[in-house]
Structure 1
Amino acid sequence: MALSDISRVEIEKAIEECDRLGRDAFLKTNGFRRARSYFLVHGDGQYDSKAIVGVAHGFLPGERPLTPDTPGFSGGAEHAARLLRRLGFLVVEEPGAGGPAHDELIHRITHLKVNRSANHRSLYKPIALLWAMGRAHRGEARLLPWTETEAALKLLLQRHGRGERLRPDYPIASLHRDGVWELRDCTDPVTTAHGDAGVKRWFTTNQPLGGLAEPVYDLFRHSGVTRLAVLDELVGTFFEDLDAAPLLTEVGLGDVDPAEPQTRSGRAPEQWLLTAAEYERGCRFVEEREAKTHGRRRTSTTERPLRSRTARYLVLSRSQGRCENPGCTGQPDDVTEDNRPILEVDHVVDLTRGGRDHPSQMVALCPNCHAVKTRGRTREALRETLLRVASERHADRVGGAAGGGPPC
């Protein structure tokens, strides 16, 4: 068995065979069962990852297809799925449960490959992703004609780039290779992002219909945790020394406080609460991001700590719309114009004093309790209580210590 020798060429041949035979016949012919966890997304289809890799092995010179019982061969994260991801394919978990796993999308954004120029990361792909995320957030059409995509991204690159050329074809071709962007109605095979005239000529000739891959669009559209986690990552990684606010406003991600659960007027707070699994996934991202940003400062006219929108969102959701101070004497019965409870998210231990930007050290407080915690005579005793409450509530949401990291 030589999994490391398999390239995209062999994988694409296996995909073609699956398309030709149909899924059931392909699996039966090669002795595989339907996948239970990991699926390869390619074009408009989803494929059983282990079966595709097993059959692809047979396209190597002098090799035979692998069978489900081949020793050391599995479809799990360390074998078939890992190989496919290394080759640049999008692998998702349990597509029947609503598309690609949150962690898979975050991984792709966290490891976004971009060019560097003058010691800065290129903003081509981050700007394109933020634009598409804003469209998904508003529920706009997923796929657009190339002329519309090109015009929108040229304008954004001109206004918010670091001097990047006005060439939207570069990031779109690259995002397609990343498995994040879909291109349809193409006469020729999709170009790579390498070169100059050839890339531009391909888009001019083919005029593809394109946009975010459907499972990615669905996550940006429906998952507040994913949307905020990606926003945190893109802004924190690529705009660290820039003011991203004008760009976020223009793409439709800055008109509301992105740290708060999104609601429509008249909706009860219970309708935006997160499940325990969503809360735990969000915390995992916060912890991964925290490992890179803890103690760092963002420089503008003043220096201020880097803060996570995702962590604030998780705390507000965890609060169930009520002040988390157990001694609260009564928060306002009124709500905001968007029907949100009047709550403020607070770091129990200030970030400037070494506190964590993590739900286990953050609480949702009504304005009165927040004022007591900040400048009241009993603030030190209240802080001790709130730190315990934050730790306990966080542990309850993630099922104790499992998967949530240390509480403090």
Structure 2
Amino acid sequence: MALTDITRTEVERAIEECDRLGREGFLERYGFRRARRFLVAYEGRHYDSKAIIGAAHGYLPGQRPLMASEFSGGAQHAARLLKGLGFDILEGLPASALTHDELIDLVTSVKANRSSGAPALYKPITLLWAMGRALRGEPRLLPWSATEEALADLLARHGMRGEKQRPDYPIASLHREGLWTLHDYAGDVPTAHGDGKVRRWFAENQPRGGLPEPVYDLFRHSALTRLAVIDELLGTFFDGLDPAPLLAEVGLEDVDVDSPPRPTGSSPEQWLLTAAEYERGCRLVELREAQTHGERVSRTTHSPKRSQVARYAVLNRSEGRCENPRCTGQPADVTDRKLPLLEVDHVVDLALGGRDHPSQMVALCPNCHAVKTRGSTRETLREILLEVAMERHKAMETAKGNSAALRP
């Protein structure tokens, strides 16, 4: 039997099984990942289209379920089958369908075109431009003419690997990856292959488009998200290049690493990085660290070598106070943003095998930083600070556990 033999009855039985096992148990049973683009809507709930079709195949007479590794049709094929059976298909992911970490994974796992030997910059330029717009609160969706004009201009100036002025390519590709929504068009969006067909489709349809709403909201409101995405995009795509001019033009040259999440005043209450947010930041740092720890580059590069997310977590963990227990008093002066004068320090130097992780990092006032770096008692102080870093890190983990236990 073919997939086209599946009827609404088999699909509804697969949906019932998903409800019984729960989404994670259902996906684990059949070896599927969460949908990144197409969800089937049924009685107010959303389900992963490919996994539902794979399970539904097992309800056909004499057939078994199709595991993810055996599924020959893509997500769009599964969505088309379900739509033909009368199910509503949601293209683009609602905030309620994904966790924060899944959205981060979606943004930071963008596939790169490496046909020239190095990753092309089409998609990171597009995402950074859209992130800057979200940060400024500009409209999420734009007419195609406005998107085309803005991106063609950026690609012309910042396409440092010979990128052409063709915004249709990154938009079509990001759309297929679930990172761009398109509206007001006819037919299927073409794949990002071949100049003529893709260009003609966008020219003829003139779709409105932009980031999916949950991704836009994360870029708009979460400094942690912005830093994680910038870290990932620059580390993946801009090795050996200077992204500073691009970041300046899209309005991301001064991301709020040094600012607390809610800069509403100068009181300690503004440093409200929750334990859950701290843990999320550490998890993002660890994912990146697993890919890059121990790597060294021999050439000079303007790309960031250290995690902005880790620095952000430590600064906010400190609540604006020097983390050296022997501090004799940090300077009363503040920065132009009315924030404490603090510097994030790696207690164990990265060059000596230290980690770019909050468990080995502390926030120090300039005086304590100088003692730790050049003072005669620096070795003793380093031992103390390493213990402090671990204690502060464990305290945040404990706080998250306590808050989770208190939830009903």
Which bin holds the TM-score, normalised by the shorter protein? Answer: 0.7 to 0.9
1:118 matched to which residue of 2?
Answer: 116
| Counterpart residue identity of residue 103, structure 1 | D
Partner-residue secondary structure (3-state), 2:356: coil
5+ unaligned residues in a row in structure 2: which ranges? 25-33, 80-89, 402-408
2:203 matched to which residue of 1?
Answer: 204
Matches within 5 A, 1:289-368: 289-298=288-297, 301=300, 306-368=305-367
2:169 matched to which residue of 1?
Answer: 170
**2:60 matched to 1:63?**
yes
Q: Distance in 1 between matches of 2:23 and 2:266?
A: 35
Matches within 5 A, 1:2-401: 33=19, 48-50=45-47, 52=49, 56-57=53-54, 63=60, 95-96=95-96, 100-161=98-159, 162-256=161-255, 258=257, 260-261=259-260, 264=263, 266=265, 268-298=267-297, 301=300, 306-399=305-398
| Counterpart residue identity of residue 107, structure 1 | D
Contact between 1:363 and 1:390, CA under 8 Å: does it hold in 2?
yes
Give, in angstroms, the shift of residue 255 of structure 1: 3.0
| Counterpart residue identity of residue 178, structure 1 | E
The C-alpha deviation readout for 1:293-341, integer Å capped at 9, x for no partner, is 1222355547998211110001011111111011111112333232322
Matched-pair identity in %:
57
Which has the higher mean CA deviation after the structures are superposed, 32-41 or 164-173?
A: 32-41
The C-alpha deviation readout for 1:140-181, integer Å capped at 9, x for no partner, is 111111111111111111111111111100010111111111
Contact between 2:346 and 2:361, CA under 8 Å: does it hold in 1?
yes
| Counterpart residue identity of residue 337, structure 1 | D
5+ unaligned residues in a row in structure 1: which ranges? 19-25, 403-408
Q: Distance in 2 between matches of 1:296 and 1:54?
A: 38
Q: Distance in 2 between matches of 1:224 and 1:144?
A: 24
Taking a change above 3 Å as real, the CA distance of residues 145 and 35 of structure 1, as seen in their structure-2 partners, is farther
Q: Distance in 1 between matches of 2:322 and 2:5?
A: 57
Contact between 1:259 and 1:310, CA under 8 Å: does it hold in 2?
no
| Counterpart residue identity of residue 63, structure 1 | L
| Counterpart residue identity of residue 375, structure 1 | R
Q: Distance in 2 between matches of 1:327 and 1:149?
A: 54
Aligned-pair Cα RMSD in Å: 4.2
Give, in angstroms, the shift of residue 102 of structure 1: 2.7
Contact between 2:13 and 2:59, CA under 8 Å: does it hold in 1?
no
Contact between 2:124 and 2:237, CA under 8 Å: does it hold in 1?
yes
Q: Distance in 2 between matches of 1:400 and 1:350?
A: 28
Q: Distance in 2 between matches of 1:382 and 1:366?
A: 14
Q: Distance in 1 between matches of 2:128 and 2:185?
A: 25
| Counterpart residue identity of residue 270, structure 2 | Q
Q: Distance in 1 between matches of 2:291 and 2:212?
A: 28
Taking a change above 3 Å as real, the CA distance of residues 298 and 220 of structure 1, as seen in their structure-2 partners, is farther
| Counterpart residue identity of residue 310, structure 1 | V
| Counterpart residue identity of residue 287, structure 2 | E
| Counterpart residue identity of residue 245, structure 1 | A
Contact between 1:225 and 1:310, CA under 8 Å: does it hold in 2?
yes
2:27 matched to which residue of 1?
Answer: none
| Counterpart residue identity of residue 275, structure 1 | T
Which has the higher mean CA deviation after the structures are superposed, 196-205 or 291-300?
A: 291-300
Taking a change above 3 Å as real, the CA distance of residues 264 and 319 of structure 1, as seen in their structure-2 partners, is closer
Taking a change above 3 Å as real, the CA distance of residues 385 and 393 of structure 1, as seen in their structure-2 partners, is same
Contact between 1:297 and 1:303, CA under 8 Å: does it hold in 2?
no
Aligned residues: 376
Taking a change above 3 Å as real, the CA distance of residues 349 and 303 of structure 1, as seen in their structure-2 partners, is farther
Q: Distance in 2 between matches of 1:369 and 1:239?
A: 34
Q: Distance in 1 between matches of 2:318 and 2:226?
A: 20
Partner-residue secondary structure (3-state), 2:398: coil
Q: Distance in 1 between matches of 2:194 and 2:175?
A: 16
Q: Distance in 1 between matches of 2:273 and 2:135?
A: 18
Contact between 1:286 and 1:310, CA under 8 Å: does it hold in 2?
yes
Which has the higher mean CA deviation after the structures are superposed, 322-331 or 257-266?
A: 257-266
Q: Distance in 1 between matches of 2:122 and 2:5?
A: 31
| Counterpart residue identity of residue 114, structure 2 | R
Q: Distance in 2 between matches of 1:140 and 1:239?
A: 26
1:23 matched to which residue of 2?
Answer: none
